[in-house]
Chains A and B, each alone.
With several copies, the nearest count.
Chain A
Amino acid sequence: MAELKNFQYTPKDFKSDQEVRWCPGCGDHAVLNAVQKALTELGIPKEKFAFISGIGCSSRFPYYMDTYGFHGIHGRAAAIATGVKTANPELSVWDITGDGDALAIGGNHFIHAIRRNIDINILLFNNEIYGLTKGQYSPTSEKGLMTKTSPFGTVEEPFSVGELVIGAKGKFFARTIDANVALSTQIYVEAAKHKGTSVVEVLQNCVIFNDGIHDKVAGREVRDDRTIILKHGQPMIFGKENEKGLVLDGLKLKVVKLGENGISGKNLLVHDAQEANPGIQYMLANMRYPDYPVALGVIRSVEGKTYDTDVEEQIMGIQKGAKIKCMDDLLNSGSVWKVE
Chain B
Amino acid sequence: MTKNSQVIEREEVVIRFSGDSGDGMQLTGTLFSDTAALFGNDLSTFPDYPAEIRAPQGTVGGVSGFQVHLGHSEINTPGDYADVLVAMNPAAVKANAKWVKQGGTIIFDKDNFTDKNIEKAGYKSDPVSEEKLETYNVIAAPISSMVKEALKDFGLDPKSVLRTKNMFALGMVYWLFDRKLKYTEQYFDKKFARNPEIAESNKVALRAGYYYAETIEALNPVIKIEPAQIAKGTYRNISGNAATAWGIIAAAEKAGLKVFIGSYPITPATGILEELAARKDLGVKSLQAEDEIAGICTALGASFAGNLAVTSTSGPGLALKSEAIGLAVMAELPLVVINVQRGGPSTGLPTKTEQADLMQALYGRNGECPVVVIAASTPSDCFIYAFEAAKIAVEHMTPVLLLTDGYLANGSEPWKIPSMKDLPKINPPFADKKEIPFLPYKRDCETLARSWAIPGTPGLEHRIGGLEKTLKGTVSYIPENHEMMVKFRADKVAKVADNIPDLKIWGEESGDLLVVGWGGTKGYLMTAVRELQSEGYKVGLAHFNYINPMPKNVNDAFSKFRKIVVAELNMGQFADYLRMKYQDFKYAQINKVQGLPFTIKELKEKCIKLLEEK
Contacts and interface: CB of A to CB of B under 8 A. Distances in A.
Interface of A: 16, 18-24, 26, 45-48, 50, 52, 55, 57, 60, 62-63, 65-76, 79-88, 90-91, 104-105, 107-109, 112, 130-134, 136-137, 139, 148-152, 208-209, 311, 314-315, 318-319, 322-328, 330-332, 334-340
Contacts of B267: 132-134
Nearest to B453: A68
Contact of A339 (B232, B286, B298): B232
A149 B286 contact: yes
- For the complex of A and B, list the 3 residue pairs with the smallest distance between their C-beta atoms, beginning with the closest: A83-B301, A71-B465, A83-B298
Contact of A314 (B280, B290, B300): B280
A84 B304 contact: yes
B285 A311 contact: yes
B35 to A, nearest CB: 10
Contact of A79 (B37, B288, B293, B303): B293
Given A83-B300, A327-B282, A335 B474 contact: no
Interface in B4-47: 34, 37-38, 40
Contacts of B253: 326-327
Nearest to A25: B54
Contacts of B290: 104-105, 107-109, 112, 139
Interface in B296-311: 297-307, 309
Interface of B: 34, 37-38, 40, 51-57, 59, 61-62, 227, 230-237, 246, 249-250, 253, 258, 260, 262, 264-267, 270, 273-274, 277-294, 297-307, 309, 316, 323-324, 326-327, 331, 346-347, 416-420, 455-467, 474-475
A18 B474 contact: yes
Nearest to A108: B290
27 contacts: A19-B56, A20-B56, A69-B463, A73-B316, A73-B327, A76-B297, A79-B301, A83-B298, A83-B300, A84-B302, A87-B305, A88-B306, A88-B307, A91-B305, A91-B455, A105-B292, A112-B290, A132-B51, A134-B270, A136-B273, A139-B290, A149-B277, A314-B280, A327-B253, A330-B249, A332-B234, A336-B236
Given A68-B304, A70-B304, 11 more contacts: A52-B301, A68-B463, A69-B463, A79-B289, A80-B297, A81-B301, A83-B260, A83-B300, A132-B267, A151-B277, A338-B235
Scoring B38, B282, B331, B458 by chain A CB atoms within 10 A of each residue's CB, the highest score goes to B282
Given A76-B297, A88-B306, A339 B285 contact: no
B233 A338 contact: yes
Contacts of B61: 19, 21
Given A134-B53, A334-B236, A50 B305 contact: yes
A87 B265 contact: no
Given A82-B287, A88-B305, A340 B462 contact: no
Given A50-B305, A84-B301, A133-B266, A330 B282 contact: yes
A22 B465 contact: no
B417 A327 contact: no
B57 to A, nearest CB: 7
Contacts of A74: 316
A47 B455 contact: yes
Given A107-B290, A136-B265, A330 B304 contact: no
A320 B463 CA distance: 37
Contacts, number: 279
Contact of A76 (B288, B293, B418): B293
Contacts of A21: 52, 55-56, 61-62
A115 B267 CA distance: 26
Contacts of B286: 149
Nearest to A320: B281
A73 B466 contact: yes
Scoring A52, A63, A87, A139 by chain B CB atoms within 10 A of each residue's CB, the highest score goes to A87
A112 B196 CA distance: 44
Contacts of B346: 73
Nearest to B294: A79
A133 B270 contact: yes
A330 B281 CA distance: 10
A83 B267 CA distance: 23
Contacts of A82: 287, 294, 297-298, 301
Given A151-B277, A336-B234, A338-B234, A87 B260 contact: yes
B463 A63 contact: yes
Nearest to A69: B463
B301 A80 contact: yes
A38 to B, nearest CB: 17
A242 to B, nearest CB: 37
A150 B286 CA distance: 9
Nearest to A317: B280
Contacts of B278: 151
B301 A71 contact: no
Contact of A149 (B273, B304, B309, B475): B273
Given A18-B474, A52-B301, A88-B306, A335 B237 contact: yes
Contact of B464 (A24, A70, A104): A70
Nearest to B271: A148
A289 B53 CA distance: 30
Contact of B281 (A24, A105, A318): A318
Contacts of B34: 335
Contacts of B274: 136, 148-149, 151
Contacts of A151: 274, 277-278
A326 B419 CA distance: 11
Contacts of A26: 54
Given A62-B465, A149-B286, A83 B233 contact: no
Contacts of B416: 339
B234 A46 contact: no
Nearest to A51: B463
A150 B249 contact: no
Contacts of B300: 80, 83
B524 to A, nearest CB: 25
B264 A104 contact: yes
Contacts of A208: 53-54
Contacts of A23: 53-54
A15 B232 CA distance: 61
A57 B293 contact: no
Contacts of A318: 280-281
B265 A47 contact: no
Given A48-B456, A87-B285, A338-B235, A67 B419 contact: no
A337 B457 contact: no
Given A24-B54, A73-B346, A332-B234, A86 B461 contact: no
Contacts of B52: 21-22, 57, 60
Nearest to B295: A79
Scoring A22, A45, A76 by chain B CB atoms within 10 A of each residue's CB, the highest score goes to A76
B294 A109 contact: yes
A160 B346 CA distance: 31
A139 B293 CA distance: 16
Contacts of A65: 463
Contacts of A24: 54, 57
Nearest to B245: A330
Contact of A337 (B37, B285, B327): B37
Nearest to B38: A337
Contacts of B289: 79, 112
Contact of B463 (A47, A70, A104, A335): A70
